[in-house]
Amino acid sequence: MNGPVPHFAAQTIRNAMTIDVEDYFQVSAFAEQIDRASWPSRECRVEANIERILAILEEGDARATFFTLGWIAERYPAMVRRIVAAGHELASHGYGHLRASDQSRAEFMDDISRSKAILEDIGGQRVLGYRAPSFSIGPANLWALAALQEAGYRYSSSIYPIAHDHYGMPDAPRFAFYPNGTDGLLEVPITTVRLMKRNLPAGGGGYFRLLPYALSRTMMRRVNRMDAQPAIFYFHPWEIDPGQPRPEGIAMKSRFRHYVNLGRMERRIRALTRDFAWDRMDRIFLGRP
């Protein structure tokens, strides 16, 4: 797991802005309360939220990578084309938000191949990147990285090097690495800060909504300046949508994680576009024009 790490010049570092394109009812934490069979009949809000995100990125002169579910792309092809037309990278989040760790190798290959084909057909560009739902690639299913390469992906952003009750691989490298040598798939972990022999999350999600913005900004600046590495930040369209429906029966812990500070998120994303330089994953890590 220790292939060579790409190096970056500190004065020219661009950070990677990434969006996991899924709707509020598709999050893994709600899986036990929301039947997949009900998805088509639920109010979808992803299209309106993506329009707001595209406007924020355009105002901030930022480009991003949109890790998109095939399920969403099939239903909102015009939205997918707007993402591409705005100069952003289209990447895969799988088809139906199934955790990689819950699938056999054959099921996983079908999922990542299906989503790649759907996105490429709709978006009209090669799909090179993949992010596993809930960062669900870890020590027990590292075979998934070889499967991704076999399916034609060039990079993954599916391992989060932290300790967490639902995901995480704290012993994994903190920065981009080649798990199987430089001719293999590049893995690009979400950003962490090393403190007191622990990796602290510094790349978005619920932690970004919970912690003060100034602290998150400081941690990302530390990665840029001290580690001379890009920060990889992620969020979801539903995180800028405090008015989303609130399904009943959600456990208190999951409810807190999902809804905390949603009303502050859009303002914080705008602040990020002012405080840092942002670009697409493929440009930063694969050197694409």
Q: Which tens digit of pLDDT belongs to each residue from 174-213?
A: 999 999 876 789 999 999 999 888 899 999 988 899 999 9
Query: What is the per-residue pLDDT for 50?
Result: 98
Q: pLDDT tens-digit profile of 111-168?
A: 999 999 999 999 999 999 999 999 999 999 999 999 999 999 999 999 989 876 666 6
Name the band, by pLDDT with cuts 50, 70 and 90, for residue 247.
confident
Q: Are 89 and 64 in contact (CB under 8 A)?
A: yes
Query: What is the per-residue pLDDT for 8?
Result: 60
Query: What is the per-residue pLDDT for 98?
Result: 95
Query: What is the per-residue pLDDT for 141?
Result: 94
Query: What is the per-residue pLDDT for 205?
Result: 87
Query: What is the per-residue pLDDT for 280?
Result: 98
- Residue 162: DSSP 8-state: S
Name the band, by pLDDT with cuts 50, 70 and 90, for residue 288.
confident
Q: Please give the distance of CA 267 from its chain centroid, rounded to a whole number.
A: 19
Provide the angle, in degrees to the nearest 10, between the axes of the packed helices 262-275 and 46-59.
Answer: 30
Query: What is the per-residue pLDDT for 250?
Result: 84
CA distances to 70, 82, 171, 243, 269 from 122, in Å: 10, 11, 38, 29, 27
Q: pLDDT tens-digit profile of 53-69?
A: 999 999 999 999 999 99
92: which strand partners?
Answer: 68, 130
Lowest mean pLDDT among 210-214, 240-244, 251-255, 277-281: 251-255
Query: What is the per-residue pLDDT for 4?
Result: 54
Q: What is the mean pLDDT of residues 214-219?
A: 96
Q: Please give the distance of CA 225 from its chain centroid, rounded to a whole number.
A: 23
**Which residue, among 135, 197, 193, has the nearest Cα to 164 in the 3D structure?**
135
Whether pLDDT at 6 is above 80? no
Q: pLDDT tens-digit profile of 35-52?
A: 999 999 999 999 999 999
Query: What is the per-residue pLDDT for 166?
Result: 66
**Which residue, among 80, 84, 93, 168, has the nearest Cα to 130 in the 3D structure?**
93
Q: What is the mean pLDDT of residues 2-10?
A: 56
Domains of the chain: 18-35+64-286 (3.20.20.370)
Query: What is the per-residue pLDDT for 96?
Result: 96
